Structure formats: C-alpha cells, structure tokens
Amino acid sequence: SQTIHQWPATLVQPVGSPLSLECTVEGTSNPNLYWYRQAAGRGLQLLFYSVGIGQISSEVPQNLSASRPQDRQFILSSKKLLLSDSGFYLCAWRTLGSYEQYFGPGTRLTVT
Amino acid sequence: GDSVTQMEGPVTLSEEAFLTINCTYTATGYPSLFWYVQYPGEGLQLLLKATKADDKGSNKGFEATYRKETTSFHLEKGSVQVSDSAVYFCALEGGGNKLTFGTGTQLKVEL
C-alpha cells in the first residue's frame, strides 16, 4: 500500500534561519507531488507541484523553493525564513489518471 | 481563474442534527469536485467526489451532488456525530493536475 511521510512534525525556527522540510512517498512510482501551506484561519494554498524528477512548478512567488531530487522525494526549502512563513505545510501525491490526492500528516512550522 | 467559495464557520450543531455546508465554484469547462476532511492535527483525507454533472458522491453518511446549473456541491449529512467534528474543504480540479480549495468550514458537534 502507498504511504506518505513528512518530517519533522513540528518545527520552531528563528527568523532568518534556513528551512528544509522533506516528504517521501512509498508504494507508488512517478507520482505527481504537491506542497501546500495552510495559514491560521485560512484555506490551503498550493505552493509547488512536480510531475517528475527535477520538474517544479511554482504557484505563488515567495520566499520558498522546492526540489525533487528523486522520484518519490519532495523537499521544501528556504534560505531565510520570514515570520509570514509560519503555517501548516502539507505534502500530497497523486498518480496519473487518479482524481484523488493523498495528503501527508503535515509539518507545523512556527517562525519566531 | 478557478475558485471555490464555502460558507464561513464555525458551524456548531448538536449531535443528530442535520448538516449542510454550502460550496459554490467558478471554473471553465467541467471540473471534478471534491470534499476533503481534516481532523484536528492531521492532514486532509478525501471524503467524497463527483466527476460529472448530476453525480452524487457519498461516504460515511455524507453526500454531495454536482449541480452544474447552480455551480454548487453542497455537503449534507442527515445526523451528525461528535466524531464528525473537523474542518471540511470543498475543492475542484479543472485540469492541469491541480486542486483549488475553498477556505474550509469548521464543524463542531456537541452532545
């Protein structure tokens, strides 16, 4: 069966520090991968998506970047965090031809 | 561009009450429509979906019908339970492998 892992579960980082969040998927190959952010009291905002290794589409200009170094690995990064980067970050995947996106457990990021 | 509008919450109901969460959308073409649920501290789970007009998605007692004429996909349940307390998100996929989400509606069910 397919599973999706995200880590860490929670993270508290000071302003100006770097960020690396990792997402890995098991049990499937060549998935589409997605990073979303959920800010307090708001809906989900799609940040990045990837249809293959090294292929990244950015939906919103921001302080963050994404990379896909392996087929089932998706990384969200920042060189210098801002207070506004605080939120709940969710990774998701889907396979070609499927309607459903499967979400990971999320990472709660607090920038202080 | 595509957009989804949901009723604002929180919605507070007593157990066994009838639930309706309104959702309307704007999209070109014929999108697929979804309801996702997020329990406290967790990621999102697909609750139900409908891929064409007049389809009814159903799961765990929840239902939603794809109404093209009113561009709506309202979520309903006849008798809610405390365990249904969560945030519910309406979403659409209009193509391009991307979902567009509404802002979410928090549901609180009390005894």
Q: Which among B36, B97, B103 has the least Cβ separation from residue A42? A: B103
In three-state secondary structure terms, A84 is helix
Q: Would you state the pLDDT for residue A41?
A: 67
Q: Name the token pair of B24.
A: 């309307």
Minimum Cα–Cα distance from A97: chain B residue: B97
pLDDT, tens digit, 9 for 90 and up, residues A16-71: 999 999 999 998 889 999 999 987 767 788 999 999 999 999 988 778 999 999 99
CB-based contact (8 Å) between A11 and chain B? no
Q: What is the mean pLDDT of chain B?
A: 93
Contact yes or no for A43 and B104 at CB 8 A: yes
Q: How far is residue A30's CA from residue A38's CA, in Å, rounded to a whole number?
A: 25
Contact B44 A32 (CB under 8 A): no
**pLDDT higher than 70, residue B8:** yes
- Share in percent of chain B as helix, strand, coil (round to 5): 5, 50, 45
pLDDT per position as a tens digit, A71-112: 999 999 999 999 999 999 999 999 877 778 899 999 999 999
Nearest to A16, CA basis, from A73, A67, A85, A105:
A85
pLDDT at A44: 86
What is the predicted pLDDT for the residue at A59? 85
By Cβ distance, the residue of B32, B98, B103 closest to A46 is B98
Higher-confidence position of B64 and B7: B64
Q: With bands split at pLDDT 50, 70 and 90, how would you rate the model's confidence at B98?
A: confident
Q: For residue B43, what pLDDT is reported?
A: 83
> How many angstroms separate the CA atoms of B66 and B71, rounded?
8
One-letter amino acid for residue B62 of the chain: F
A101 chain-B contacts, CB cut-off 8 A: 46, 99
pLDDT category at B54 given cuts 50, 70, 90 is very high
Q: Kindly give the pairing relationship between strand B11-14 and strand B105-110.
A: parallel
